[in-house]
Structure 1
Amino acid sequence: MSCYYILYILCIALFYFSNYYFLFVIFYLFSYF
């Protein structure tokens, strides 16, 4: 579950940057995978 942990950290970093659009893009990409 290392990939999931990395994604979680990335999500937090993006949230800190207030980039909701980018977060949505990552979520969409992860859902596609």
Structure 2
Amino acid sequence: MDTSSGSSREKKTLDPSNARPVPSRKKSLQL
């Protein structure tokens, strides 16, 4: 369970696609 969670989290952080939607959503919220 821990290995799966860590892997998923690391993949998200490493994935630029995931980091992109994060700031995009923040901008949408601010707008």
**TM-score, reference length from structure 1:** 0.48
Structure 1 segments unaligned to the other structure (5+ residues): 18-33
Q: Kindly indicate whether structure 1 or structure 2 has the higher relative contact order, using CA contacts under 8 Å at least 6 residues apart.
A: 1
Length, aligned pairs only: 17
Q: Detail structure 1 runs of 4+ shifted over 6 Å in the superposition.
A: none
Q: Considering only aligned residues, what root-mean-square deviation do their CA atoms show, in Å?
A: 0.4
Structure 2 segments unaligned to the other structure (5+ residues): 1-14
**TM-score, reference length from structure 2:** 0.51
- Higher radius of gyration, 1 or 2: 2
